[in-house]
Structure formats: structure tokens, C-alpha cells
Amino acid sequence: MRVVLITGISGSGKSIALNVLEDDGFYCVDNLPVRFLQEVIASLTDAGHDRIAVSIDARSGESVAELRDNMAGLSRFGHDVKTIFLNASTTTLVQRYSETRRRHPMSIRQEVGLNGNTLVEAIDREREMMSVLEDLGLSLDTTDLHPNVLRQWVRDVVGTERAPLTLLFESFAYKQGVPLDADLAFDARCLPNPYYSADLRALSGLDAPVGAYLQQIPSVMRFIDHIGNFLHSWLPFYIQENRSYLTVAIGCTGGQHRSVWCVEELARRFRRTEHVLVRHRGLARRGHGG
């Protein structure tokens, strides 16, 4: 069992760290009270999970001091345990809370039966409480750190690689409108239309005669090559932005011939190196499946 504990100061990026581990295949538990840690780990182990990430913070109250012994106990049971303590300057934390307009968890706790704290006082109180854990594992200062940098640092510390981006190619009919989920949209209506060939009209871009017709037209192949070259050039940059999906939509008038064949051809080319899905909106409307 690999166990990653994400802890530290509220507002320093624990949610970002937990989310990136979830994207990379970890079973994640947020805001787990310390007293339940070993019980939850045992239960998830019995359920067959072998990678777990847990976020624990000052909302556990004074029991956070018990976390050190709990983590040591997990190690004694043979689990591979890593701890990341996230921190940031008070100025940065105040700015982040100001931008999100969220309330600091310590200010909420203090309101019960007592006078509430100011934001700075709540941060100082949390620092005092969490100081007993600061040397428990690797401490990362996220002050002025871009979220994508933090994501990569977490992956480096934990020793994971990002989950592969899914490249989704979909064809559509412009008369139905551009799909809302399209990240990139290309217009194939400039290409010769097989619809005007009596032998091809009833067929679709999935049929070999339509493909043979389109492959013989230089402008069609240039269209495919240009889209393919664009994706080859820019896909690494989309991956750097931690995208899980990139949807490339290609449309023609009816979503039956040109766009369908172009999607199939691009999918064929990119399946060699990427995780690819295909969807045909126009054909699905006609009952030919996706």
C-alpha cells in the first residue's frame, strides 16, 4: 500500500495536491479526522486499493498532534508512507482567502462559544497548532507558486506520472450547431462533398467508397495533414496544462461524410501515440451509432 499524507496550512494548496493525485489514480480522502486514519487505511486495503492519498488539517483539532504516531504505525505495518506539508506566507494566504472569499476553518471553529478571530489571527493560530507536524515529511512553500508547478512538484515527490490525456475526435453537423464540449473546432465544409455523388449519398464517412473518394482529393489530404501537424505541435502544451481531455471537433453540413471520414483518419493517425476516443454526433442522430 502506498499512502500519501497531504497536510499543512489551509490555503496553501492541499486541494490542488489532492486533486492531482486523484487524477493519477490515487483513492483520495479529504479532511479525514486523525482518529479514523488507520481504520480507513485498513478498510481501503481490504477493498483492494493500493494507492491512497489523505488530506488532514487543523480541522482535526488538537488531535493533529497524534498524527505522527499514526503515520509511524502505518510504516510499521509495511505501508510505503510519504508526507507532504504545504505552507505559504501569511501575506499570500490572506490574498488567496480574499480572492476566493472563503472563510478560514480556524475562524469558524473559534466562533463556537468564543469571539471569532480575524483572518490573520486564525492563520497564526493554525500555524501554532500545525507546527508539530512541519518536520514530519517534506515541506513545500507554495508562496507565489503557480498551481501547475505545484502539481508537478507533488508528482515528483510522490513518484507518479500524470494520467495520459484523452484525445477525443468528434464529427458534427453545422446545421445542429458547434458542440459545446469542443476545445478545437475545424470546418470541413470547404472540402468537396460526397453527398452530391449519387453512389455515395446514402453512405457515410465510415464506408470505404466514401474514404476512397476523399483520399483522392489533394485538398482533403492537406486539410488532414494541417490539423495533424497543428495537434502534434501544440498537444504537449495542452498536456503541460494538466488537461485530462482535449476534444477536437470537425464539422460539415450534415455530419455524415466529410467530417466523419476526417475524424476517423485523424483518430487512426493519433492512436499510435495517444489515448484516442471517437464520437460521431451526426451519425448518432441517424441511428448509426457513435
Question: In which element (H, E) is residue 251 found?
Answer: strand 245-252
pLDDT of residue 111: 46
Cβ atoms within 10 Å of 247's Cβ, excluding its own = 18
Which pLDDT band holds residue 206 (cuts at 50, 70, 90)?
Answer: very high
**Final residue in a domain of this structure, among 135, 158, 181:** 158
Same domain (yes/no): 154, 170: no
Same domain (yes/no): 205, 148: no
Same domain (yes/no): 136, 202: no
Same domain (yes/no): 250, 274: yes
The one-letter code for the residue type at 64 is V
pLDDT tens readout for residues 106-137: 776 554 444 556 889 889 988 888 888 877 77
Same domain (yes/no): 189, 98: no
pLDDT tens readout for residues 170-196: 999 999 899 988 999 999 999 999 999
**Final residue in a domain of this structure, among 112, 134, 158:** 158
pLDDT tens readout for residues 37-80: 888 988 998 899 999 999 988 776 767 778 878 887 887 877 88
pLDDT tens readout for residues 233-288: 999 888 877 677 899 999 999 999 999 999 999 999 999 888 899 999 888 766 54
* Domain residue limits at 204: 166-286
Q: What is the CA radius of gyration of the chain?
A: 26
Cell of 61: 483539532
Same domain (yes/no): 120, 8: yes
What is the CATH classification number for the domain harbouring 126?
3.40.50.300
Our count of domains for the chain comes to 2
Same domain (yes/no): 39, 133: yes
Residues paired with residue 82 on neighbouring β-strands, in sequence order? 4
Cβ atoms within 10 Å of 88's Cβ, excluding its own = 23
**Final residue in a domain of this structure, among 132, 158, 184:** 158
Tell me how far apart the terminal alpha carbons of the chain are, to the nearest angstrom. Answer: 39
Give the pTM: 0.63
Tracing cell 472569499 back to the chain, one arrives at 101
**Residues 81, 75 contacting (CB under 8 angstroms):** yes
Length of the chain (residues) = 290
Q: Could you tell me where the DSSP H helices lie in the chain?
A: 14-23, 37-46, 67-76, 90-100, 105-110, 119-130, 147-158, 208-215, 218-240, 258-270, 281-286
Nearest to 59 by CA among 124, 9, 15: 9
Distance CA 252, CA 259 (A): 5
Same domain (yes/no): 223, 175: yes
- State residue 184 phi and psi, 5-degree precision: -130, 135
Same domain (yes/no): 112, 90: yes
Distance CA 25, CA 61 (A): 29
Same domain (yes/no): 18, 153: yes
Write the Ramachandran bin of 242: left for phi over 0, alpha for psi from -120 to 50, otherwise beta.
left
Nearest to 217 by CA among 193, 197, 196, 199: 193
Same domain (yes/no): 179, 72: no
Same domain (yes/no): 176, 200: yes
Judged by DSSP in three states, 78 sits in coil
pLDDT over 90 for what percent of the chain? 47
